[in-house]
């Protein structure tokens, strides 16, 4: 039909330092919780795809672990996962948190993203924390340093300006048909969703370094649709006996609270009853061991 708008589709990768709000923005753009979010850095460990399907375009949105420096094998691998995913994007979102000037660590990441073949959009997130006029020097500095990039301020938390960001992305995507079924909103399996949910609840419940050295693996996932029940057994891997003791808590209370929070969330997502059991296992130094990081890490 003459004059009909063309359909566009493509991959959009979210990159940036830890804690800038990449996963929050992914969830906001998809309109559903796809990736876990916590107030602490280094939450995301995997490449996670969220799919947004509109009448005029389909966006394959790829969340990545935050770019950060650390000598630990787990962290090295997380950054490697991010770098590999960033190379896949037709559009790259370089996410930074709002401030009055460019943070040198953000600049270093944006320089790496600008060197990729993809079109770059610098997304200034957390707009709600900084009055807009205070952002003008930052926007000007970004225009100077990254003249080929679009610059879009948003609040992923409140949704401010996110539709404008999506419109900007769409213009950059190639014309083409949808790449994924239109009712699919993520590439994650139910097992992965369960692992991530439990890991999020551990992040939210525990202080100190425990979340950073804890991994979650589903060991058994039994679907019993006739009983409207999924039975899920997870293994929680920690680095130290002291971490295990804290995670379990007095008379098992902490672990029970974590399990209840995860179960309620999973019942909601899967729309069925969930029976969740958790076993905590100590693997001394696993975050520094390449073999075990490959098994549990991302």
Ligand X SMILES: Nc1nc2c(ncn2[C@@H]2O[C@H](COP(=O)(O)OP(=O)(O)OP(=O)(O)O)[C@@H](O)[C@H]2O)c(=O)[nH]1
In eight-state DSSP terms, residue 99 is -
Binding mask 164-203 for ligand X (x = CB under 6 A): ----------------------------------------
C-alpha of 272 from chain center:
25
Q: Assign 150 to helix, strand or coil.
A: strand
Q: Assign 115 to helix, strand or coil.
A: coil
Within 13 Å, how many C-alpha atoms sit on residue 252's CB side?
Answer: 7
Nearer to Mg ion, 47 or 119 (CB): 47
Length of the chain: 298
User: What residues line the site for Mg ion (CB under 5 A)?
Assistant: 22-23, 43-44
Chain position whose Cβ is nearest to ligand X: 66
- Distance in Å, CB of 196 to Mg ion, minimum: 10
Binding mask 196-235 for ligand X (x = CB under 6 A): ----------------------------------------
Q: Which of residues 48-107 bind ligand X (CB under 6 A)?
A: 65-66
Tell me the longest C-alpha to C-alpha distance in the chain.
70
The single residue among 58, 125, 168, 287 that binds ligand X, judged by CB under 6 A, is: 125
What are the angstrom distances between the C-alpha of 45 and each of 24, 58, 80, 203? 15, 25, 10, 13
State phi, psi for 210 to the nearest 5 degrees.
Answer: -55, -50
From the list ligand X, Mg ion, none, which binds 38 (C-beta under 5 to 8 Å, kind-based)? ligand X
Note the residues at the interface with ligand X (CB under 6 A): 18-24, 37-39, 41-44, 65-66, 125-126, 128-129, 155-157
């Amino acid at each position: 039909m003459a004059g009909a708008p063309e359909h566009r589709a493509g991959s959009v990768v979210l990159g940036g330092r830890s804690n800038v709000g990449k996963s929050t923005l992914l969830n906001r753009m998809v309109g559903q919780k796809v990736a876990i979010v916590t107030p602490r850095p280094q939450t995301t460990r995997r490449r996670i795809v969220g799919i947004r399907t509109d009448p005029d375009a389909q966006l394959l949105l790829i969340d990545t672990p935050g770019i950060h420096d650390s000598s630990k094998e787990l962290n090295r691998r997380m950054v490697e996962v991010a770098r590999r995913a960033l190379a896949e994007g037709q559009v790259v979102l370089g996410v930074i948190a709002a401030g009055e000037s460019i943070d040198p660590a953000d600049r270093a990441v944006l320089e790496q993203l600008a060197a990729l073949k993809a079109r770059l959009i610098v997304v200034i997130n957390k707009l709600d924390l900084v009055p807009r006029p205070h952002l003008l020097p930052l926007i000007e500095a970004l225009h100077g340093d990254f003249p080929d990039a679009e610059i879009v301020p948003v609040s992923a938390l409140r949704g401010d300006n996110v539709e404008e960001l999506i419109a900007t992305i769409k213009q950059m995507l190639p014309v083409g048909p949808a790449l994924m079924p239109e009712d699919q909103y993520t590439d994650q399996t139910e097992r992965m969703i369960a692992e991530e949910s439990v890991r999020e609840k551990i992040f939210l419940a525990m202080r100190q370094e425990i979340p950073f050295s804890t991994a979650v693996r589903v060991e058994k996932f039994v679907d019993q649709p006739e009983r409207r029940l999924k039975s899920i057994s997870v293994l929680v891997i920690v680095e130290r006996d002291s971490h295990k003791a804290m995670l379990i808590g007095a008379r098992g209370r902490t672990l029970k609270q974590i399990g209840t929070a995860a179960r309620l969330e999973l019942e909601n997502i899967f729309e069925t009853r969930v029976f969740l059991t958790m076993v905590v296992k100590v693997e001394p130094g696993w975050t520094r061991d390449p073999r075990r990081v490959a098994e549990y890490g991302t």
